[in-house]
Amino acid sequence: MRAVLFYEHGGPEVLQVTEFPSPCAGRGEVLVSVKAAALNRMDIWTRKGWPGIKLEYPHILGADGAGSIAAVGEGVTGWKEGDRVVINSNLGCGRCEFCLAGQDNLCREWRLLGETVRGTYAEYVVVPAQNVYPLPAGFDERLAAAAALVFHTAWHSLITRGNLRPSERVLVVGAAGGVNLASIQIAKLAGAEVYVVGSDAQKLAVAKSLGADHLIDSSEEENWSKTIYSLTEKRGVDVVVDNVGTTFALSFRALRKGGRLLTVGNTGGAKFEIDNRYIFGKHLAIIGSTMGNLRDFATVMDLVFAGKLKPVIDRSYPLGEVREAHQRMEEGKQMGKITLDIGK
Ligand SMILES: [Zn+2]
SS (H, E, C) the chain: CEEEEECCCCCHHHCEEEECCCCCCCCCEEEEEEEEEECCHHHHHHHHCCCCCCCCCCECCCCEEEEEEEEECCCCCCCCCCCEEEECCEECCCCCHHHHCCCHHHCCCCEEECCCECCCCECEEEEEHHHEEECCCCCCHHHHHHHHHHHHHHHHHHHHHCCCCCCCEEEEECCCCHHHHHHHHHHHHCCCEEEEEECCHHHHHHHHHCCCCEEEECCCCCCHHHHHHHHCCCCCEEEEEECCCCCHHHHHHHEEEEEEEEECCCCCCCCCCCCHHHHHHCCCEEEECCCCCHHHHHHHHHHHHCCCCCCCEEEEEEHHHHHHHHHHHHCCCCCCEEEEECCC
Rounded percentage of the chain residues whose pLDDT exceeds 70: 100
Calculate how far, in angstroms, residue 111's C-alpha sits from the geometric centre of ligand 1: 10
322-344 tens-digit pLDDT: 999 999 999 988 889 999 999 87
Calculate how far, in angstroms, residue 100's C-alpha sits from the geometric centre of ligand 1: 7
- Name, in order, each residue with C-beta under 8 angstroms of 109's C-beta and a sequence gap of 6 or more: 92, 93, 96
Calculate how far, in angstroms, residue 41's C-alpha sits from the geometric centre of ligand 1: 25
Confidence (pTM): 0.96
Calculate how far, in angstroms, residue 129's C-alpha sits from the geometric centre of ligand 1: 15
pLDDT the model gives residue 270: 87
pLDDT the model gives residue 79: 98
Calculate how far, in angstroms, residue 293's C-alpha sits from the geometric centre of ligand 1: 11
Calculate how far, in angstroms, residue 96's C-alpha sits from the geometric centre of ligand 1: 4
Query: Treating both helix axes as pointing N-terminal to C-terminal, what angle do 178-189 and 141-155 enclose, rounded to 10 degrees?
Result: 70
Calculate how far, in angstroms, residue 152's C-alpha sits from the geometric centre of ligand 1: 18
Calculate how far, in angstroms, residue 90's C-alpha sits from the geometric centre of ligand 1: 11
pLDDT the model gives residue 45: 94
Query: CA–CA distance from 340 to each of 14, 64, 124, 306, 331 (Å)?
Result: 17, 10, 14, 23, 17
pLDDT the model gives residue 267: 86
What is the average per-residue pLDDT within 253-266? 96
Calculate how far, in angstroms, residue 95's C-alpha sits from the geometric centre of ligand 1: 5
Closest CA to 243 of 10, 12, 37, 42: 42
Calculate how far, in angstroms, residue 182's C-alpha sits from the geometric centre of ligand 1: 27
Calculate how far, in angstroms, residue 91's C-alpha sits from the geometric centre of ligand 1: 8
Half-sphere exposure of 176 (CA within 13 A, CB side): 19
Residue 186 pLDDT level (bands cut at 50, 70, 90): very high
Give CA–CA dist 306/309, Å, rounded. Answer: 8
Give CA–CA dist 240/251, Å, rounded. Answer: 7
Calculate how far, in angstroms, residue 303's C-alpha sits from the geometric centre of ligand 1: 26
pLDDT the model gives residue 142: 98
Query: Rounded to 5 degrees, what are φ and ψ at 280?
Result: -80, -40
Residue 192 pLDDT level (bands cut at 50, 70, 90): very high
For residues 344 and 35, the answer to whether their CB atoms sit within 8 Å is yes
Residue 13 pLDDT level (bands cut at 50, 70, 90): very high
103-159 tens-digit pLDDT: 999 999 999 999 999 999 999 999 999 999 999 999 999 999 999 999 999 999 999
Calculate how far, in angstroms, residue 104's C-alpha sits from the geometric centre of ligand 1: 6
276-291 tens-digit pLDDT: 999 999 999 999 999 9
pLDDT the model gives residue 139: 98
16-64 tens-digit pLDDT: 999 999 999 999 999 999 999 999 999 999 999 999 999 999 999 999 9
Calculate how far, in angstroms, residue 49's C-alpha sits from the geometric centre of ligand 1: 25
Half-sphere exposure of 74 (CA within 13 A, CB side): 2
Give CA–CA dist 96/23, Å, rounded. Answer: 26
Query: CA–CA distance from 213 to each of 171, 196, 208, 329 (Å)?
Result: 10, 8, 7, 27
201-256 tens-digit pLDDT: 999 999 999 999 999 999 998 899 999 999 999 999 999 999 999 999 999 999 99
Calculate how far, in angstroms, residue 185's C-alpha sits from the geometric centre of ligand 1: 30
Half-sphere exposure of 341 (CA within 13 A, CB side): 7
289-324 tens-digit pLDDT: 999 999 999 999 999 999 999 999 999 999 999 999
* Cβ atoms < 10 Å from Cβ of 234: 9
Calculate how far, in angstroms, residue 94's C-alpha sits from the geometric centre of ligand 1: 5
For residues 157 and 239, the answer to whether their CB atoms sit within 8 Å is no
Calculate how far, in angstroms, residue 159's C-alpha sits from the geometric centre of ligand 1: 22
Residue 10 pLDDT level (bands cut at 50, 70, 90): very high
For residues 144 and 237, the answer to whether their CB atoms sit within 8 Å is no
Calculate how far, in angstroms, residue 194's C-alpha sits from the geometric centre of ligand 1: 35
62-107 tens-digit pLDDT: 999 999 999 999 999 999 999 999 999 999 999 999 999 999 999 9
